């Protein structure tokens, strides 16, 4: 099914919880600084599934987002790549250029943006959550989000760059170095990519826990040295005092497991998004001088990741378990990920069956 025509294109549009529709969106003229992409692939993120299951969480429904100026209903999807088909006159990128999208909005004026910490922008947000994204045949984006791709980076790898960026930023926040021992609580896409990148960074041991044996098997194939099924085992017992632990789910149980897994003076990087408050044993943290380090989004990691992929050091597309057409995004994508199963990363192909130019 293609809804693309002279004036519009097909897109997965979030209207409300349980209500994502594949519909035709009008093609709007570009504003200065903007680029139009033909999307090659777009991944479904855990946060997209949250918006589908019981949103809105991040999607603006009452007030338009400060940078995007948009409000629901909007095109969902922030993990995507594509090819430039049109660029505003002031943009220095030519049509035909393949690009990865770093979907964080930035205002460029606030103190965080001026420090270069654009992931902490006062108007922080993501194209595909706080503004129109890439689960569509086309997307319009500010050009600062785009990173040109060498031919040696595939569309599949490019579509998984965004979760890999979350993982690499988390590793940098945790100051993981060669020889370190690492624990990862949760083997979803982010936990798996953290485990894979930790090994590439030279971590000597990487212990991963999850309740899915299929995901733990994938963790081992990506380089995890030990895995623990949290339904029957205990991450902290196996980890036995690692240097750095990552919480990659966003629950009390996984945060507890991560904190219990680090040595005295160890670091816990908190990556998962909790929907409410969590409690922490302050006495234990002080006594063991455990550092809690939150990590959100990413900054300055795309060029390094693209170089690692192009150089054959890293392949984030190994977490992809399924590629589906845009028309079945809800039935074969969101619905599948909203219930526990074998899938890790599902990619949406808006132009399947060789229709891509």
CB of 233 to Zn ion, least distance (A): 28
Q: Interface mask (CB under 5 A) for Zn ion, residues 89-118, using x and -? A: ------------------x--x--x-----
C-alpha pair distances (Å), 62 with each of 16, 71, 109, 240: 13, 7, 24, 47
Considering the complex, state which of residue 121 and residue 244 has its C-beta at the smaller distance from Zn ion: 121
CB of 224 to Zn ion, least distance (A): 21
Q: Does residue 206 belong to the site contacting Zn ion (CB under 5 A)? A: no
Give the pair of three-digit tokens for residue 222.
């990506």
- Measured in degrees and rounded to the nearest 5, phi and psi for residue 244 equal -140, 135
Among residues 9, 47, 122, 31, the alpha carbon closest in space to that of 275 is found at 47
Considering the complex, state which of residue 190 and residue 262 has its C-beta at the smaller distance from Zn ion: 190
Pick from 45, 135, 140, 301 the residue near Zn ion by CB under 5 A. 45
CB of 296 to Zn ion, least distance (A): 12
Q: Does residue 310 belong to the site contacting Zn ion (CB under 5 A)? A: no
Residue with tokens 């930035």: 106
Q: Does residue 121 belong to the site contacting Zn ion (CB under 5 A)? A: yes
Question: Applying CB under 5 A, what is the total number of residues that bind Zn ion?
Answer: 5
Tell me 30's DSSP state: P
What's the CA gap between 170 and 120, in Å, rounded? 14
CB of 286 to Zn ion, least distance (A): 34
Spacing of C-alpha 119 from chain mean position = 13
Considering the complex, state which of residue 189 and residue 266 has its C-beta at the smaller distance from Zn ion: 189
Considering the complex, state which of residue 113 and residue 337 has its C-beta at the smaller distance from Zn ion: 113
Residue with tokens 């959550």: 129
Buried b (16+ CB within 10 A) or exposed e, 41-69: bbbbbbbbbbbbeebeebbbeeeebebbe
CB of 70 to Zn ion, least distance (A): 17
| Residues lying near Zn ion in the complex (CB under 5 A) | 45, 107, 110, 113, 121
């Amino acid at each position: 099914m293609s809804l693309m025509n002279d004036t519009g294109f097909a897109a997965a549009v979030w209207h409300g919880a349980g209500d994502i529709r594949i519909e035709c969106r009008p093609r709007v003229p570009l504003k200065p600084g903007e680029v139009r992409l033909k999307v090659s692939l777009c991944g479904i993120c855990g946060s997209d599934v949250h918006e589908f299951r019981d949103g809105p969480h991040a999607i603006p429904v009452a007030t338009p987002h400060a940078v995007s100026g948009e409000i629901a209903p909007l095109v969902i999807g922030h993990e995507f790549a594509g090819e430039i088909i049109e660029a505003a006159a002031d943009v220095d990128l030519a049509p035909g250029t393949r690009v990865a999208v770093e979907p964080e909005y930035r205002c460029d004026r606030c103190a965080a943006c001026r420090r270069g910490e654009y992931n902490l922008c006062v108007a922080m947000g993501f194209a595909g959550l706080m503004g129109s994204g890439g689960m569509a045949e086309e997307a319009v984006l500010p050009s600062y989000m785009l990173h040109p791709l060498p031919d040696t980076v595939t569309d599949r790898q490019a579509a998984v760059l965004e979760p890999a960026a979350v993982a690499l930023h988390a590793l940098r926040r945790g100051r993981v170095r060669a020889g370190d021992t690492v624990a990862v609580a949760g083997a979803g896409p982010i936990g798996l990519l953290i485990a894979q990148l930790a090994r590439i960074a030279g971590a000597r041991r990487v212990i991963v826990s999850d309740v899915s044996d299929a995901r733990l098997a994938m963790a081992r194939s990506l380089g995890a040295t030990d895995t623990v099924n949290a339904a029957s085992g205990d991450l902290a017992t196996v980890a036995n005092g690692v240097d750095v632990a990552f919480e990659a789910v966003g629950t009390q149980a996984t945060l507890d497991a991560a904190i219990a897994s680090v040595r005295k003076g160890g670091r816990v990087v908190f990556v998962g998004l909790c929907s409410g408050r969590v409690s922490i044993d302050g006495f234990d943290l002080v006594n063991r001088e455990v550092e809690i380090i939150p990590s959100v989004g990413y900054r300055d990691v795309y060029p390094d990741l693209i170089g690692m992929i192009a150089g054959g050091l890293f392949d984030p597309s190994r977490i992809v378990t399924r590629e589906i057409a845009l028309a079945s995004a809800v039935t074969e994508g969101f619905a599948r990920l909203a219930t526990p199963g074998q899938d890790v990363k599902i990619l949406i192909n808006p132009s399947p069956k060789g229709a891509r130019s």
